[in-house]
């Protein structure tokens, strides 16, 4: 089944035509989240094309599946949970993180209306996308902070995607779920209650990261530099062209209500996304500390060993950011 899903995703990547003279770049992302605004805007505005790239962006709504595709070099850039990337690297995968689009967890735990307190989660079912995903890590962190033991006090179920978590809340298969903007605004409108705002807990974490396979880094570094330039242009456009960016958010999130799109824009552009994919090293260490709970190798690992800093350095030294934000 996994092979079928991956094959279908790759077929979508491969069938579209490419422009003569442009170099192909395939960019995978793992969820419908405002964390990807920079990529979405760069694609819609043709900013990758301005860098001589024929880009394709594709949603593979499972970080573990996107990790497999990225490790295989079947996308040039994969954007998913940095913790998953580090875990794969410790198992021998030839991949590096080149930047983070977000450096903190942006989630909330929403519950059915009858649950009034965190204590009321005891004995309930809570939905995450996948075990080991950013939703799972966030849920377990939040539960422990409120003196609840995951699995013992609260049953955690894999739902597959954020949209499936919303469906599970509506259908009653779960009583609580971890959701992110703009989906959380739709969940709120349906009458579910925000019980724990994980974003306000300010958990530094690489979520998501930008990950590239080693062979691409060694043999095609120019394409990575051009990706970073287009991403920086995309973030600048997102900040300076609000109307177009809100249309982009609505298109990719499938959220039609302008009020919710506005809230997503204000949150991500105003508080979450930086002008370039900078890396918060404290967040990287938090991810390693979390991995160390189940993987002893993480205890002796250092965040720097999973990062290739040269592309961020090139972006800074190249003068583009000074040009955009003068």
Which of 201, 233, 251 is the last residue before a domain boundary? 201
Q: Verify that 298 and 160 share a domain, yes or no.
A: no
Q: Verify that 194 and 290 share a domain, yes or no.
A: no
Percent pLDDT > 70 in the chain is 94
Reduce the secondary structure of 176-230 to three states and give it as a string: EEEECCCHHHHHHHCCCEEEEECHHHCCECCCCEEEEEHHHHHHCHHHHHHHHHH
Average pLDDT over residues 205-212: 96
- Total domains in the chain come to 2
> Could you tell me the residue range of the domain that residue 171 belongs to?
108-201
Give 21's pLDDT tier (boundaries 50, 70, 90).
low
Give 11's pLDDT tier (boundaries 50, 70, 90).
very low
Q: Verify that 216 and 266 share a domain, yes or no.
A: yes
d(CA 134, CA 211): 15
pLDDT in tens, 89-138: 999 999 999 999 999 999 999 999 999 999 999 999 999 998 988 899 99
pLDDT in tens, 23-46: 999 999 998 889 999 999 999 999
Q: Verify that 179 and 295 share a domain, yes or no.
A: no
Does residue 20 or residue 177 have the better pLDDT? 177
Q: Verify that 89 and 210 share a domain, yes or no.
A: yes
Please state the φ and ψ torsions of residue 84, each to the nearest 5 degrees: -65, -35
Which of 201, 234, 252 is the last residue before a domain boundary? 201
Please state the φ and ψ torsions of residue 107, each to the nearest 5 degrees: -145, 165
Burial class, 294, CB count within 10 angstroms (exposed 0-12 / middle 13-18 / buried 19+): exposed
Domain holding 81: CATH number?
A: 3.40.190.10
Q: Verify that 231 and 146 share a domain, yes or no.
A: no
**Would you tell me how many other CB atoms lie within 10 Å of the CB of residue 317?**
10
Q: Verify that 215 and 316 share a domain, yes or no.
A: yes
Q: Is 80 helix (H, G, I), strand (E, B) or coil?
A: strand
**Would you tell me how many other CB atoms lie within 10 Å of the CB of residue 193?**
16
Which of 166, 183, 201 is the last residue before a domain boundary? 201
Q: Verify that 32 and 75 share a domain, yes or no.
A: yes
Question: How much is the pLDDT for 277?
Answer: 96
Q: Verify that 98 and 209 share a domain, yes or no.
A: yes
Q: Where are the beta strands (DSSP E) in the chain?
A: 23-29, 53-59, 77-80, 95-100, 108-111, 125-128, 155-158, 176-179, 193-197, 209-213
Gyration radius of the chain's alpha carbons: 19
pLDDT in tens, 225-262: 999 999 999 999 999 999 999 999 999 988 888 999 99
Q: Verify that 93 and 116 share a domain, yes or no.
A: no
Question: How much is the pLDDT for 4?
Answer: 42
Q: Verify that 243 and 177 share a domain, yes or no.
A: no
d(CA 117, CA 134): 23
Q: Verify that 100 and 135 share a domain, yes or no.
A: no
């Amino acid at each position: 089944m996994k092979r079928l899903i991956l094959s279908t995703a790759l077929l979508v990547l491969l069938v579209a035509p490419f422009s003569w003279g442009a170099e192909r770049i395939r960019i995978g992302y793992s969820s419908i989240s405002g964390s990807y605004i920079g990529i979405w805007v760069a694609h819609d505005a043709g900013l990758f094309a301005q860098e001589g790239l024929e880009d394709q962006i594709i949603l593979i709504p499972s970080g573990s599946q996107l990790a497999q595709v990225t490790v295989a070099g079947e996308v040039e850039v994969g954007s998913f949970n940095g913790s998953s990337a580090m875990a794969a690297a410790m198992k021998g995968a030839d991949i590096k993180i080149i930047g983070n689009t977000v450096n903190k967890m942006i989630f909330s735990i929403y519950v059915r209306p009858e649950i009034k307190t965190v204590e009321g989660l005891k004995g309930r079912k809570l939905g995450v996308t996948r075990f080991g995903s950013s939703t799972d890590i966030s849920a377990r962190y939040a539960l422990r902070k409120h003196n609840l033991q995951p699995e013992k006090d609260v049953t955690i179920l894999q739902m597959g995607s954020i949209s499936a978590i919303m469906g599970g809340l509506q259908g009653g298969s779960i009583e609580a779920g971890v959701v992110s903007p703009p989906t959380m605004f739709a969940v709120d409108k349906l009458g579910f209650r925000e019980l724990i705002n994980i974003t306000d807990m300010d958990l530094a974490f690489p979520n998501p990261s930008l990950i590239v396979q080693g062979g691409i880094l060694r043999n095609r570094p120019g394409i990575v530099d051009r990706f970073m330039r287009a991403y920086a242009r995309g973030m600048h456009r997102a900040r300076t062209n609000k109307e177009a960016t809100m249309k982009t958010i609505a298109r990719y999130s499938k959220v039609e209500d302008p009020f919710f799109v506005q809230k997503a824009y204000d949150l991500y552009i105003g508080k979450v996304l930086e002008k370039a994919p900078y890396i918060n090293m404290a967040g990287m260490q938090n991810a390693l500390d979390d991995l160390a709970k189940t993987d002893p190798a993480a205890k002796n690992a250092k965040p720097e060993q999973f990062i290739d800093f040269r592309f961020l350095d090139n972006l800074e030294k190249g003068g583009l950011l000074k040009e955009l934000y003068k």
